[in-house]
Amino acid sequence: MTILTMTNDIISWKSPSNIALIKYWGKHGVQLPQNASLSMTLKNAATNTELQYRHSPNDMEVQYFFDGERSQIFEEKVIIYLERLKSEMPFLGDYYLKFSSSNSFPHSAGIASSASSMSAMALCLVSMEEEVSGKKLAKSDFFKRASHIARLGSGSASRSVYGSWSTWGVAEGIKNSSDTYASPLDFSPHEVFSGLGDAILLVDTTPKKVSSSLGHHLMKVHPYATGRYRQAAMNLEALMVSMQVGDFDSFACVVENEALSLHGLLMTSSPEGLLLKPGSLQIIDAVRQFRNETRTKIAFTIDAGPNIHLLYPQTERENVMQFIENELLQYCENGRWIDDEIGDGPERMK
Ligand code: PMV
């Protein structure tokens, strides 16, 4: 194995993960969503990716390092992605590319890293495209292009190139919405949603048995698919109203319905995927009881895994911290959870 030595151009981006509140589950064509989704960009869970490149007389050559170590598994996936990208970015064929990535969140934290890693890589590639072509894009076009390139790697990554709130997918009521790239939410949500906290409760961090690619694929023949896409559109509309008027209760209702619908679809697909653990259900139960008894503004959402995200306005932080400490840590693997919140989006580091 030869290690490339580079004396050349370096680009580096830090890009965050995101958590979908209206879930993307089911795709068609080349990574096009069956329904529009809406997500909140996180602050602390992020990937740092550095790209070193130099001109190569031969074809594209790629090396991928993760946490300082060359990673064969990731490298193979990245090469497949970049080969597909050549039709979009033909210049890639003329370069040596060396990627070095690391995540800010701990290993095996049960946080999907595809959104942060693919968006960080896409941002590096679009910056490189600007540099090698000598054509600088307007800021909004830059992020639109990065979102499009990220989407080709992982659908949810298309939303991570923006801070705060993003939507992806054509939706009635969202101006200029597109299936090929995400956009920042086209209104400012009510202040109750600014600075929203996200406590990620780690119930089980063993690698999941059902990949999202398989999950999307299973939707192609899922008996509930049509109803699901209709439900997602209705939930998106309802969520945007809640966010505009500042109604946390109806926000919680929609967000929780989306999370449980995703898992309902998983459990009723063939082959089925049961990803929730007893601890996940115990947390859901405890959150609902706590909310009924204390009227605390708190909502749960869940990705395609057993871990639970608790969303809450900053005014509730003290209450929520006590609740986690007193009642929920018992359901977390080794008492672990991640303290995150809504973030400002990616940052160019070099
Ligand atoms: O982007 P993918 O292909 O990893 O799919 C993501 C699917 C969910 O995380 C379950 C939902 C979403 O919209 O992020």
pLDDT of residue 1: 46
Pocket test for ligand 1, best of 15, 18, 21, 25 (most atoms within 8 A of CB): 25
Structure tokens at 10: 């370096």
Give the homologous superfamily in CATH for domain 191-341: GHMP kinase, C-terminal domain (3.30.70.890)
pLDDT of residue 132: 95
What's the mean per-residue pLDDT of the chain? 95
CB 216 within 8 A of CB 339: no
CA distances from 25 to 213, 219, 236 (A): 9, 7, 14
% the chain with pLDDT above 90: 91
pLDDT of residue 109: 67
Given a cut of 80, whether residue 107 has pLDDT beyond it is no
303 lines ligand 1 (CB under 6 A): yes
114 lines ligand 1 (CB under 6 A): yes
CB 45 within 8 A of CB 340: yes
**Model confidence band, residue 7 (pLDDT cutoffs 50, 70, 90):** low
Q: 232 C-alpha to center of ligand 1: Å? A: 14
**Model confidence band, residue 15 (pLDDT cutoffs 50, 70, 90):** very high
Q: 141 C-alpha to center of ligand 1: Å? A: 24
**Model confidence band, residue 165 (pLDDT cutoffs 50, 70, 90):** very high
Summarize pLDDT for 259-282 with one digit per residue, the tens. 999 999 999 998 889 999 999 999
Summarize pLDDT for 137-164 with one digit per residue, the tens. 999 999 999 999 999 999 999 999 999 9
Q: 212 C-alpha to center of ligand 1: Å? A: 6
Looking at ligand 1, which atom is closest to the CA of residue 22? 13
Q: 132 C-alpha to center of ligand 1: Å? A: 32
Q: What pTM was computed for the model? A: 0.96
Summarize pLDDT for 126-136 with one digit per residue, the tens. 999 999 999 99
Q: 225 C-alpha to center of ligand 1: Å? A: 16
Question: How far, in Å, CA of 157 to CA of 8, rounded?
Answer: 28
Structure tokens at 232: 């997602």
pLDDT of residue 111: 76
304 lines ligand 1 (CB under 6 A): yes
**Model confidence band, residue 51 (pLDDT cutoffs 50, 70, 90):** very high
Q: 61 C-alpha to center of ligand 1: Å? A: 29
Q: What is the mean pLDDT of residues 54-67?
A: 93
Summarize pLDDT for 303-327 with one digit per residue, the tens. 999 999 999 999 999 999 999 999 9
Structure tokens at 24: 């993307």
**Model confidence band, residue 124 (pLDDT cutoffs 50, 70, 90):** very high
Looking at ligand 1, which atom is closest to the CA of residue 18? 14
**All structural domains of the chain with their residue ranges:** 9-188, 191-341
pLDDT of residue 110: 66
Q: What is the mean pLDDT of residues 179-184?
A: 98
155 lines ligand 1 (CB under 6 A): yes
pLDDT of residue 179: 98
pLDDT of residue 312: 98
Q: Does domain 9-188 have CATH number 3.40.50.2020?
A: no
CA-proximal residue: ligand 1, atom 9 (nearest): 303
Q: 43 C-alpha to center of ligand 1: Å? A: 18
Structure tokens at 144: 């639109």
